[in-house]
Amino acid sequence: MHELIAHGVEVKILTRNLERANAVAPQAQAVVGDLLKPADLRPAFEDVDALFLLLAGVPSEAHEGLTAVALARAAGVKRIVYLSVHQTARPPRHVPHIGSKLLIESVIRESGIPYTFIRPNVFMQNDFWYQEALLAHSIYPQPIGDKGTSLCDVHDIAEAAAIALTTDGHEGEAYTIAGPEPFTGQRAAALWSAVLGKDVTYGGHDMEQWELQQLERGVPQWFALDLKMMFTAWQTDGLVATDNEIDRLTRLLGHAPRSYEDFVVETVASWPVGQSQIAAFKGRAFS
């Protein structure tokens, strides 16, 4: 949103949550609605030139995505930029969240509306959820395995989406959003160890145990299974961006994608652990 506003674009945001709508920047128009109630949403799509379609990973994701495309077609939307997911040579279509996104991609292709797909890797910002595990228990718990994952920064997603929405030359394109280097679970733990100045252990990738832990934390059963299947697929095949994908992203952004190392340093600097660890880390190289 802020990237679009910076481009001087008139922004309209659709959200289910009134509190989120009230928190929207005053430069944007907030519309409260639900894609499962499409009759109420037709006015929201009026006078919209370009649609950025971002859907939550919920059981109704595919239905909501197809509804959004139908509403966009009916309203004469001229461009769709869809936030999908990084595709490898063998995408795990059996994972509900990923299978839904692949279905929505196919419907957008057939809609006749010019489109661009933004395909992010695993979000670096997922690590915000692990602050307690990292600081109190010295564990990096995200089960990304040992094949490698090219984690991406959400700021790069926002910048890429804004470019695709506001400039020409991206019709029919798909851009992978990924960091410049892949990380395994062990390497991620080593980076956190270096920046925090203490030993951080990778939590491993026993997905049966991991699913039970999620359920004990109160995660809905459908979500715990979806995540288990998704991480298992990445552990099996990895989720590593190719050199060509990184080169295309760099050309799109006009700069290299953000590194995981920079993200971790910035994140720790914002946590109540002081600046001493950061200063010590910056004085030595990490590999």
Residue 4 has pLDDT above 80, yes or no: no
In this predicted structure, what is the pLDDT of residue 43? Answer: 85
Question: Rounded to the nearest 10 degrees, what angle do helices 243-253 and 154-166 cross at?
Answer: 60
**Alpha-carbon gap, residue 269 to 9, rounded angstroms:** 33
Q: Which residue has the tokens 């804004």?
A: 162
Percent of the chain with pLDDT over 90: 76
Mean of pLDDT values over 19-29: 75
In this predicted structure, what is the pLDDT of residue 264? Answer: 96
Instruction: Indicate if the alpha-carbon torsion angle 10, 12, 13, 17 is positive or negative.
Output: positive
- Rounded to the nearest integer, the mean pLDDT of the chain is 91
**CATH architecture of structural domain 2-123+152-179+240-258:** 3-Layer(aba) Sandwich (3.40)
Buried-exposed string 53-70: b where 16+ CB fall within 10 A, e elsewhere: bebebbeebbebbbbbbe
Least confident stretch, 8-12, 58-62, 175-179: 8-12
Mean of pLDDT values over 51-55: 96
286 or 43, higher pLDDT:
43
Residue 287 has pLDDT above 70, yes or no: no
In this predicted structure, what is the pLDDT of residue 88? Answer: 84
For the chain, which residues make up each domain, given as ranges? 2-123+152-179+240-258
Residue 285 has pLDDT above 60, yes or no: no
Least confident stretch, 27-41, 85-99, 151-165, 240-254: 27-41
Residue 85 has pLDDT above 70, yes or no: yes
DSSP 129-171: GGHHHHHHH-EE-----SS-B--B-HHHHHHHHHHHHHSSS-T
